[in-house]
Amino acid sequence: MLRRIVYLLAFVHLTLVAAVIFHRADPWITRGWWERPLGFWGGVNFSMWRFGFFSPDVGKSSEIEFTINYRDGRVENLSTLSGFDFLTANHESLIRFYGFRIHTAEDPALQDLCARSVVVRLLNELGISEDVVSVDYAIRAIRYPTMQGFRGGERVETTEFYRTNFVMSQE
Amino acid sequence: MSGAAEEQRPGGEALRARVRAAAVRFFCEPQSPAPLGVFRLLMAGLALFQAVLWYRDWSAFFGPDAWVQWEISRALGLEWQLHMMHVAGFLKHFGVSPDQSATVFYWTYVTFLVALLVGWHTRVAAFFVCLSHYVMMNTVSIFVYGLDIFLQIALFYLLVMPVAKAYSLDVWQGRVSSSPSWGVTLSRRVLQIHLCLAYISSGFEKVQSPAWWSGNVIWRSLVQPDFRQYDFTWLARCPWLAMLSSWFTMLIESGYCIAMWIPRVRVGWMMGIVVLHLGIALFMGLGLFGIIMILLSISAFGWEVWNDIKIIRKHGPLAAAHPVSSSHGSLGCHQPAQNLIEPE
């Protein structure tokens, strides 16, 4: 009996994986009492995940730039394009900021919250929060042309899609 | 008409019986647990290596004042999803501060990973490792990428599969039997089929994209700043090379679910998988992601590939296909075969 149950569970699990992958579960998967238990199940084992990495395209790249304005008038630029690595200890940690840039771009409110959080962390890590007047935070999308376009002299397209400014308290 | 149908019935029944017997062999015939032991060693080893890499950046990602603070990452998840904040809330009763709770969490995770690696009370260790990784993913959901997803899938399988039956202290100390069982066979099939589904999904989505056929996805992946490891702008003058790499990727991924079941062909396909993911690791900087994909394929099909290599070395590449039984992971073979996988 136990054996039959185990085989049945394995079958149901793989069926769910296949149904999600081939878009067969889309109409009903998030509509009903099962949404929550399935959400938990999917969170634990990612049986409800599509694996279309870099499909249909690789997506835009992006740059995050901090402009730090000091009390003594100095201005410091930290840009991910110029090698700013978020003070990470290794490349594996740095890679994770690719996901960060993609995810935060999805929602303006989330961008605001994340920008504030990141700037606070940066100032604390650098130990400069007392010396800074304000910080500008900008995110730019970078789109490379196709190979044909690049050969024809088409330029890399850079578009700023988020900018905010944090002014430090004078107290 | 009905007479003809009656004449065909015995043949049809025989075919059904053969298919049923093949399916039973494929899913139920007891196998050696050694491949599952290797799966545990590889995944726990990789997770431990990743934890070592996390060490210096732990508080920057998982601490209360991380790059994305707990309040924000908590709000991003669903109400019932476990988060590091819940762990801190629990540890607060023992006088542990939020900062300290992140550190306690790290060392607890590492301890259970070591237990899982050596196979000491494997099921308990796997439960806590899987749960901890789930909490970690919810805490840094904004930073998660493919590596974490495949690692979570693997850790879940380590929890539910009989992975302690080989190369473990549990076997050495007599807590777990190392005998072949139907559970091992079912587990291996689930892992193999899940991986096939993952690759066919990945390949299927790519094949439908014109940017993949033209090679422009490969080009952009290599030149844009997020993944750029070397200067590949010269690739624009050799578009055929990007196109070839692109087609190779689509072929290997789309064909995986068929090729990996064909004796000898899967040796070539496994080499293709290794080349593909080493390429991702070297040229896009996604090192751990490339490694976990290689290790998952080795865990799922490595045993069959290794047996094929032994046969090829013994009889040459053009030797007649070995009458492979279901224990070798081939479909459609119905002759009884010697089991090259030796029990522990």
Give residue B212's pLDDT band: very low, low, confident or very high (50, 70, 90): very high
Least confident of A66-75, B54-63, B305-314, B315-324: B315-324
**Reported ipTM:** 0.91
* Nearest chain B residue (CA) to A83: B225
**When comparing pLDDT for A149 and A171, which is higher?**
A149
CB atoms within 10 A of CB B175: 15
Strands A61-70 and A132-143: antiparallel
Size of chain B in residues? 344
pLDDT at B340: 37
Chain A residues with CB-CB distance to B188 below 8 A:
none
Angle between helical axes of A2-21 and B182-207 (0-180°, round to 10): 10
The shortest C-alpha distance from B61 to chain A (Å) reads: 9
Q: Looking at beta carbons, which residues of chain A come within 8 Å of B198?
A: 21, 51
Q: Please judge whether A89 and B66 are an interchain contact, meaning their C-beta atoms are less than 8 angstroms apart.
A: no
pLDDT of residue B2: 46
The pLDDT value given to residue B330: 40
- Give the model's confidence band at B335: pLDDT under 50 very low, under 70 low, under 90 confident, else very high: very low
pLDDT of residue A88: 94
Burial class (CB in 10 A: 0-12, 13-18, 19+), B306: middle
Parallel, antiparallel or unpaired: strands A157-167 and A132-143: antiparallel
The pLDDT of B265-281, averaged and rounded, is 96
Contact B126, B155 (CB under 8 A): yes
Single-letter amino acid code for the residue at B17: A
**Taking all residues of chain A, what is their mean pLDDT, rounded to a whole number?**
88
* DSSP string for B90-156: HHGGGT--HHHHHHHHHHHHHHHHHHHHHTSSHHHHHHHHHHHHHHHHHHTGGG--HHHHHHHHHHH
Chain A residues whose beta carbon lies within 8 Å of the beta carbon of residue B126: none
Residue B272 CA to residue A127 CA, distance in Å, equals 49
Q: Is the pLDDT of residue B38 over 80?
A: yes
pLDDT at B244: 96
Closest of A96, A113, A125, A122 to residue A162, by C-alpha: A113
The dihedral sign for the CA sequence B6, B11, B16, B20? positive
The pair of structure tokens assigned to A58 is 């690789």
pLDDT at B332: 36
| DSSP secondary structure letter of residue B31 | B
Please report the sign of the dihedral spanned by the C-alpha atoms of residue B40, residue B45, residue B47, residue B48.
Answer: positive
Min Cα distance A162 → chain B (Å) is 17
What is the rounded CA–CA span in Å between residue B243 and residue B167?
Answer: 44
> Cβ B217–A54 below 8 Å, yes or no?
yes
What percentage of chain B reaches a pLDDT higher than 90? Answer: 77
On whether the CB atoms of residues B118 and B168 are closer than 8 A, the answer is: yes
Nearest to A92 among B152, B224, B288 (CB): B288
pLDDT tens figures, B156-179: 999 999 999 999 999 999 999 999
Chain B positions in Cβ-Cβ contact with residue A99 (cut-off 8 Å): 142-145
Query: Closest chain B residue to A53 measured between Cα atoms?
Result: B202
Diameter over CA atoms, chain B = 84
Look up residue B48 and give its DSSP letter: H
- A83 and A46 Cβ atoms separated by less than 8 Å: no
Q: pLDDT band for position B281 (50/70/90)? A: very high
In this predicted structure, what is the pLDDT of residue B326? 41
- Quick one: pLDDT band at residue B339, thresholds 50, 70, 90? very low
Q: What pLDDT does residue B252 have?
A: 96
pLDDT of residue B68: 94
Residue B294 · residue B281 · CB < 8 Å: no
Measured distance CA(A39)–CA(A36) in Å, rounded = 5
Which residues in chain B are contacts of A50 at CB distance < 8 A?
201, 205
Residue among A20, A51, A26 nearest B256 (CA) = A51
> By mean pLDDT, which of A91-105, B261-275, B292-306 is the weakest?
A91-105
Encoded amino acid at A109, one letter:
A
What single string gives the DSSP state of each residue in A38-51?
A: HHHHHHHH-TT---
Question: CB–CB of A44 and B152 under 8 A?
Answer: yes
Q: Can you give the pLDDT at residue B342?
A: 39
> Does the beta-carbon distance from A62 to B27 stay under 8 Å?
no
DSSP output for B262-273? STTHHHHHHHHH
pLDDT tens-digit series, residues A109-149: 889 999 999 999 999 999 998 899 999 999 999 989 999 99
pLDDT for B319 equals 63
Q: Which of B82, B149, B295 is nearest to A46 (CA)?
A: B149
User: How does pLDDT run across B225-240, given as a tens digit for each residue?
Assistant: 888 899 999 999 999 9
φ, ψ (nearest 5 deg) of residue B269: -65, -40
pLDDT on residue B325: 42
Amino acid occupying residue B33? P
Mean pLDDT of B8-24: 83
**Residue B8's pLDDT is what?**
53
Given this model, what pLDDT does residue A31 score? 77
Question: CA of A19, closest CA in chain B: separation in Å?
Answer: 10
For the stretch B116-155, pLDDT in tens is 999 999 999 999 999 999 999 999 999 999 999 999 999 9
Q: How many residues does chain A have?
A: 171
User: Side by side, which strands form the sheet with A157-167?
Assistant: A75-79, A61-70, A132-143, A157-167
Does residue B133 contact residue B145 with C-beta atoms inside 8 Å? no
Q: Quick check: A101 and B225 in contact, CB under 8 A? A: no
Rounded to whole angstroms, how far apart are CA atoms B94 and B97? 9
